[in-house]
Structure 1
Amino acid sequence: MENQLIIERFELFKVPPRWLFLKITTKEGIIGWGEPIVEGKADTVAACVKEMEQYVIGQSAHRIQDIWQILYRGGFYRGGAIHMSAMAGIDQALWDIKGKALNVPVYQLLGGAVRDKMKMYCWIGGDNPDVVIQQAKEKVAAGFRAVKMNATGPLEWITTQTELKKAAENIRKLREEFGDSLEIGLDFHGRVHKSMVRRLIDELEPYRPMFIEEPVLSEHNEALKHIAAYTSIPIATGERMFSRWDFKSLLSEGNIDIIQPDLSHAGGISEVFRIAAMAEAYDVSIAPHCPLGPVSLAAALQIDFACPNAVIQENSIGIHYNQGFDLLDYVSNTEVFTIRDGYIDLFERPGLGVEVNEAALMEAQKIGHQWTNPIWRLEDGSFAEW
């Protein structure tokens, strides 16, 4: 009979720059870590986690899928950013506990590794061509061979040709500096309205981006069929989609090349593993979204190590959001996140493979955060997408 691993306690830590950590402890003393967070809604997600405690405390941590079903289907209203992100953090922590209890990495519980290392990319700014070149040089020196940046700043619904050409300047400079040795992803960030997407692609296509991300907001996914027919640049989206049901029509319509579910938003390891398998059936790759902390990144890497269609992994080490506090500040075994020639090596430690520095969390919790994303306005005073 299996060790029951009875879940005994939840603890939450809200820490800068904009993160929320969940510690789940079993009666046997095994600890699991999760990152349940919606950026800018940390207190709301924390409240949702607290509401769901009643369904988890006293249960066996081995019963991950049963707990997932209860947390998802046990409420009449389900899905969406807050609910699925709270579930994601709980799910991550349960996989961490199970892996530690069985003394194996999580990817072994998912069927074993399909690769020995995972290709990584990082963020650079995107606001000024000179700064972009310097930041890219720093990232290459740190071991990266792929970067991503915002394609544009705030844009009008119908913008000027001057603004469109300015958007291409950064990638043009990078191509002049690095040639094709540096892979460059461009994040439209949902800032570009449908009417401008094809004209912006015209400006960017000569510089051979690795992919364009969120060319339109996910609520306008029906427009992707026109974009996919217009360009050969791979199209990525999915960071603002939260379950396999959200991805179902996107995949069946065949207009996407890379999906980007977030391990802290899309129901955790359990759900993203299912989403990745769905994508594989449609010959679509996965590149998990991850501008968050070390637990979220570790969870994403467990998916990457086990899924054949995982192609590249985002990480937030040194990202511009992390002013004053960085991902590695909360990790005791920082060596697991070492970038070697553009890759992170397969994890060997049990569970998620990351040792959270709880003392650092305790100190940082005294500071906390009230992070919110910027509110942008256009020249006429009207709202602009960030």
Structure 2
Amino acid sequence: MKSILKELIASNKQIEKADQEARIAEINNPATSDSRRNFLRKTALGGIALGGLMGMSTEDTIAQATSKVSRASKPSDLKITDLRYCIVQNVGRTPIIRIDTNQGIYGLGEVRDGADERYALSLKSHLLGHNPCNVEMLFKSIKQFGFHGRQAGGVCGVEMALWDLCGKAYGVPCWQLLGGRYRDKVRLYADTPESDDLNEFKQKIKYRTVDQGYTWLKMDVSIGMLKNLENGVVNNKFWGGGFSQWTGDYYSYANTRHPFTGIQITEKGLAEMARVVEDVRSVVGYEIPLSTDHYGHFDMNNGIRLGKALEKYRLAWLEDMVPWEYTDQWRTISDALETPTLTGEDIYLKEGFKALIDKKAIDIIHPDLASSGGLLETKRIGDYAEDNGIAMAMHFAGTPVSFMANVHCAAATQNFLALEHHSVDVPWWESLVKTTDGRKLIDKGFATVPLDAPGLGIELNEEEVKKHLNAKDKSFFAPTPDWNDIRSHDRLWS
């Protein structure tokens, strides 16, 4: 038996020597990639013999030898090596990005729903080789490439992924990196279900509030509901009567700002819109806040008339009545109405919110973290609003990746009210990810804040994600070498 053991030891030493020589040759080969070369050097330092553990495959050998070794070494040694993406078909197309590092850990982020993954890919050359834990420095270096609306999606998605990486590297949740948490669960608001039959609607509301547990609801109150009501609005036929807010050419209703449509709501139209709200409020009751949105494109004066017609229903807020840039109009609307006013889902950076906050033009800010600047910038926006006596709700319509970024930010921001959940009735939505600490993602209308799970506290359920990829781009985190090189001098000052 001993002689057999000696033979095995001698044979294994020969294998190790051959492996070592082969490894050195591969390291010195100019054709070897940098990532492969770094891997070979680390295995040499760690004493891993690729043929070493008698009969095991290379993969099993490495797994055995490193089973008790952290995949991450010092956070100060982290370097960004790649930025990759996949596109989920959720609310429109929603790109998820992954930032890889030299230590095997990675961070997940999300470009805002309905936006282009290239907003993030164009930033890759500014990130490669940098330590992802220097989040604020990297954010300042790329924030010039974002803008209001979906154009901010790349910067914000990268910022999410950097915080996820930083939390994983230091072993703490993202909310801890933002200064700590105010709450262990985050209140969600959901759309009211639709039905023309009042009894069926009552059953759906019961399901939303009792079974699903949501304690805050939102409904649309649109002039679209008046398209078949004779004399419900002035200037109806000119715009085709459909009032679609999302599609059309440059001269369409969808792309004409509110003061420029010439649409007015008649008294008959106001009465019908109020009736619909009354029906919903009578079913929901007054224990549940009821917010409203998507009124249509008409001017400030008609917005005030609508607000006054709905005032007796004590709505939680009136959302996006005019474009967010019209600060003075917002101040006029807010001064005229008792119902709280709210806007902000398309605003980029704290600077974009300052005028609305400084002039007390709205009662509640409504950032979408995937447009407003990411976790830290959105917390700063919330804190600035808090200093001025203004509350914060949060807009969201993406995948669970951005959802969890919002949850961490909401947990760390004191004046937070509620976070939107736009996919509450999508059966597969939650299964796109798995929590890394075993908690429920959502429990009875509240998002569960991960108390100990590092980073965002989730990993992708890859097989489920692959089922819901965008039909025009089925790639799944493929390498993106075409975006590696910096080709422009982008400093904004001389």
Is TM (by shorter chain) over 0.5? yes
Give the equivalent residue in structure 1 for 2:482.
none
Give the equivalent residue in structure 2 for 1:330.
432
Q: What SS does the aligned partner of 1:336 have?
A: coil
* Correspondence for 1:244 among 347, 350, 355: 350
Residue 308 of structure 1 and its aligned partner are, at CA, apart by 0.6
* Correspondence for 1:353 among 435, 440, 457: 457
Q: 1:107 is matched by which residue type in structure 2?
A: W
Give the equivalent residue in structure 1 for 2:281.
175
Q: Matched residues in 2 for 1:369 and 1:55: separation?
A: 25
Q: Matched residues in 2 for 1:178 and 1:37: separation?
A: 31
Q: Relative to 1, partners in 2 of residues 1:283 and 1:58: Cα closer, same or farther, differing over 3 Å?
A: same
Q: What SS does the aligned partner of 1:311 have?
A: strand
Give the equivalent residue in structure 1 for 2:13.
none
Q: 1:13 is matched by which residue type in structure 2?
A: C
* Correspondence for 2:101 among 26, 32, 35: 26
Q: Matched residues in 1 for 2:378 and 2:77: separation?
A: 25
* Correspondence for 2:216 among 135, 146, 149: 146
Residue 108 of structure 1 and its aligned partner are, at CA, apart by 0.6
Q: 2:430 is matched by which residue type in structure 1?
A: L
Q: Matched residues in 2 for 1:293 and 1:168: separation?
A: 33
Residue 329 of structure 1 and its aligned partner are, at CA, apart by 3.5
Residue 225 of structure 1 and its aligned partner are, at CA, apart by 1.4
Q: 1:31 is matched by which residue type in structure 2?
A: Y
Residue 199 of structure 1 and its aligned partner are, at CA, apart by 1.3
* Correspondence for 1:6 among 79, 83, 89: 79
Q: Relative to 1, partners in 2 of residues 1:67 and 1:339: Cα closer, same or farther, differing over 3 Å?
A: same
Q: What SS does the aligned partner of 2:305 have?
A: helix
Contact 2:121-2:154 within 8 A present in 1 as well: no
How big is each residue's C-alpha offset from its partner over 1:164-207, in whole Å with a ceiling of 9 and x where there is no partner? 22222232112222321221111146634313111111221111
Moved more, 26-35 or 117-126: 117-126
Q: 2:433 is matched by which residue type in structure 1?
A: V
Q: Does 1:15 align with 2:95?
A: no
Give the percent of matched residue pairs that are identical in Structure 1 and Structure 2: 26
Contact 1:211-1:235 within 8 A present in 2 as well: yes
- Map 1:248-263 to 2 at 5 A: 248-263=354-369
Q: Matched residues in 2 for 1:252 and 1:128: separation?
A: 43
Residue 7 of structure 1 and its aligned partner are, at CA, apart by 0.9
* Correspondence for 2:156 among 88, 91, 96: 88
Contact 2:205-2:283 within 8 A present in 1 as well: no
Residue 313 of structure 1 and its aligned partner are, at CA, apart by 1.2
Give the equivalent residue in structure 2 for 1:379.
none
Residue 299 of structure 1 and its aligned partner are, at CA, apart by 0.8
- Map 1:42-61 to 2 at 5 A: 42=115, 45-61=116-132
Q: Matched residues in 2 for 1:262 and 1:183: separation?
A: 20
Q: 1:137 is matched by which residue type in structure 2?
A: K
Q: Matched residues in 1 for 2:327 and 2:197: separation?
A: 31
Give the equivalent residue in structure 1 for 2:147.
79
Q: Matched residues in 1 for 2:212 and 2:180: separation?
A: 29
Q: 1:66 is matched by which residue type in structure 2?
A: M
- Map 1:61-72 to 2 at 5 A: 61-72=132-143
Q: Matched residues in 2 for 1:359 and 1:240: separation?
A: 32
Q: Relative to 1, partners in 2 of residues 1:54 and 1:335: Cα closer, same or farther, differing over 3 Å?
A: same
Q: Matched residues in 2 for 1:317 and 1:124: separation?
A: 12
Task: Number of aligned residue pairs: give it.
Answer: 358
- Across the aligned residues of Structure 1 and Structure 2, the Cα RMSD in angstroms comes to 2.3
Q: What SS does the aligned partner of 1:312 have?
A: strand
Q: What SS does the aligned partner of 2:440 have?
A: helix
Residue 14 of structure 1 and its aligned partner are, at CA, apart by 1.0
Q: 2:460 is matched by which residue type in structure 1?
A: V
Point out which structure has higher relative CO (alpha carbons under 8 A, 6+ apart): 1
Residue 260 of structure 1 and its aligned partner are, at CA, apart by 0.9
TM-score by length of 1: 0.86
Q: 2:440 is matched by which residue type in structure 1?
A: V
- Map 1:1-386 to 2 at 5 A: 2-17=75-90, 18=92, 19-39=94-114, 42=115, 45-73=116-144, 79-125=147-193, 128=196, 130=198, 132-140=201-209, 141-154=211-224, 157-188=263-294, 191-318=297-424, 326-333=428-435, 335-340=439-444, 342-348=445-451, 349-365=453-469, 367-368=471-472
Give the equivalent residue in structure 2 for 1:382.
none
Q: What SS does the aligned partner of 2:264 have?
A: coil
Q: Matched residues in 1 for 2:441 and 2:327: separation?
A: 34
Q: What SS does the aligned partner of 2:468 have?
A: helix
Contact 1:317-1:326 within 8 A present in 2 as well: no
For structure 2, list consecutive stretches of 5 or more residues without a partner in the other structure: 1-73, 225-232, 237-262, 475-494
Q: What SS does the aligned partner of 2:371 have?
A: coil
Q: 1:3 is matched by which residue type in structure 2?
A: S
Q: Relative to 1, partners in 2 of residues 1:27 and 1:64: Cα closer, same or farther, differing over 3 Å?
A: same
Q: Matched residues in 2 for 1:135 and 1:121: separation?
A: 15
Q: Matched residues in 1 for 2:295 and 2:128: separation?
A: 38
Residue 158 of structure 1 and its aligned partner are, at CA, apart by 0.8
How big is each residue's C-alpha offset from its partner over 1:53-112, in whole Å with a ceiling of 9 and x where there is no partner? 000111101110111011024x6xx53334421100000001011111111110011111
Q: Matched residues in 1 for 2:197 and 2:147: separation?
A: 40
For structure 1, list consecutive stretches of 5 or more residues without a partner in the other structure: 371-386
Q: Relative to 1, partners in 2 of residues 1:164 and 1:368: Cα closer, same or farther, differing over 3 Å?
A: farther
Moved more, 353-362 or 273-282: 353-362
Q: Matched residues in 2 for 1:239 and 1:112: separation?
A: 25
